[in-house]
Amino acid sequence: MTTQTTHPISPLGPVKLAITMDDMLLWRGVPVPKNYTSLGITRAMTQALARHRATDTFAFSNTAPAEDDPELLRVFDHWCDAGHHVANHTHHHASINWVDAQTYIGDIERTEEIIARWAARAPKRYFRYCNDMWGDTADKQAAVGAYLAKHGYTPVPVSVGFRDSRFQAAYWRTLEKDDREGIQYLRRAFVETAMHEMRLHAANARAVYGRDPVHIWLIHGTPLGGDCLDEILDQFEAAGVQFVSLAEAMADPMNAEIPPRVSPEFIHQVEKWALVHGVPVDDRPPPILEEIEKLNPIPGGSAAEIRARQYASIAQHLPGSKPAPFPVAAIQC
């Protein structure tokens, strides 16, 4: 996989994209490298956004880690003071697949109590489903959707992700081993993967719509995300990406309309619409995700082992939840 900074993302012209961030508070069970903090990562990200004149960026965050360390909430002060906005992403970051509708709604309400004073500063009340999963049954999807509508939330999808959280374990291990060459390798791979997935999802969208819709991009508040966001945005701009507000992106029908499809799979908006319309697209994970797992092994430090601790924490703290791996869609094989 190589980064092509001079080759435009689209043959049709500039591609508009709204930047969003999830989970400024890293999930329970995930190790944080030495010399990294959620506030430090957030500062690095706001500096990158400022450099690229990307204002009014929405961050959707879980809030459970603040129960263990209330000082983590300072990241919301910094984010809003830098001209950005905070929105609801549930408290425990449990997939809707793992709980019933009332438990999921209760988790939304719990986060709203915590973020209320920051969320009140935003121009609109947005919500993002965890893992961009909107309901694995029709009844569950309808119940949560009705709750959101009643309470003035607009749900925000993701049209371009790049599985960035999958780099978290390898980066932590490599920093622990102080492997300087490995650190640089992972940073390059992270940026290249962001570019590769941007091109892939943009091409999928053109296959579905015959045009370039306004995209909504997701990055998480991880240490590697903080270290690389500026370079990713550099390369996006060099390839013809124009950064716009989330409000502009949400005005595009691709994002404003909810795909009439119920499934338990972890897929984003473009690919959901492709499945609805029967348009063949490719959403296979990039091979680099398997390659980085071989880097600097540490007992208990594989992505699978860390994910198991995340799941165990959710099961412990959220009664009735049953965390489990997500089914895979045919377009991801």
**pLDDT higher than 60, residue 3:** no
186-190: list long-range contacts, CB under 8 Å, 24+ apart.
Answer: 186/224, 186/292, 186/295, 187/224, 187/227, 187/228, 187/231, 189/1, 189/288, 189/292, 190/164, 190/224, 190/228, 190/232
Q: How far apart are CA 204 and CA 176, in angstroms?
A: 38
Domain boundaries, the chain: 15-320
User: Which residue in the block uniquely carries the two structure tokens 């980066």?
Assistant: 171
**Cβ–Cβ < 8 Å for 157, 255:** yes
| pLDDT for position 6 | 67
Q: Mapping DSSP to helix (H, G, I), strand (E, B) and coil, where does residue 224 land? A: helix
3-state secondary structure of 21: strand
pLDDT in tens, 10-26: 999 999 999 999 999 99
Q: What is the pLDDT of residue 183?
A: 98
pLDDT at 286 over 80: yes
Strand partners, 18: 216, 244
At 263 the pLDDT is 84
Closest-CA residue to 197 (of 5, 9, 12) = 9
Give residues with Cβ within 8 angstroms of 45, minimum separation 6: 21, 221, 225, 226, 229
3-state secondary structure of 133: coil
Alpha helix (H) residue ranges in 126-268: 138-150, 168-176, 180-209, 223-238, 246-250, 253-256
**Cα dihedral 140, 143, 148, 149 sign:** positive
The per-residue pLDDT for range 115-141, each reduced to its tens digit, is 999 999 999 999 999 999 999 999 999
- Looking at residue 261, its amino acid is R
For 303-326, the pLDDT digits (tens) are 999 999 999 999 999 999 999 999
Contacts of 138 (CB under 8 A, 6+ apart): 262
- Per-residue pLDDT of 25-44, as tens digits, reads 999 999 999 999 999 999 99
Average pLDDT over every residue of 280-290: 96
CA distances from 6 to 2, 14, 134, 161, 236 (A): 12, 13, 36, 21, 10
As given in the structure block, the two tokens for residue 79 are 């984010």
Name the β-bridge partners of 16. 242
Q: Please, what is the average pLDDT of the chain?
A: 96
**Which pLDDT value is given to residue 332?**
94
Q: Is the pLDDT of residue 2 over 90?
A: no
Of 98, 124, 129, the C-alpha closest to 111 is: 129
Give the per-residue pLDDT at 28: 95
Residue type present at position 175: L
* SS3 state at 237: helix
Summarize pLDDT for 275-284 with one digit per residue, the tens.
999 999 999 9
The string of DSSP letters for 43-101 reads HHHHHHHHHTT--S-EEEE--THHHH-GGGGHHHHHHHHTT-EEEE--SS---GGGS-H
pLDDT in tens, 205-264: 999 999 999 999 999 999 999 999 999 999 999 999 999 999 999 999 999 999 999 989
Cα 311 off chain centre by: 18
Which residues lie across from 20 on neighbouring strands?
Answer: 58, 218
- The per-residue pLDDT for 5 is 46
Cα-based angle 46, 51, 52 (whole degrees, multiple of 5): 100
Q: Which CATH architecture has domain 15-320?
A: Alpha-Beta Barrel (3.20)
pLDDT in tens, 45-64: 999 999 999 999 999 999 99
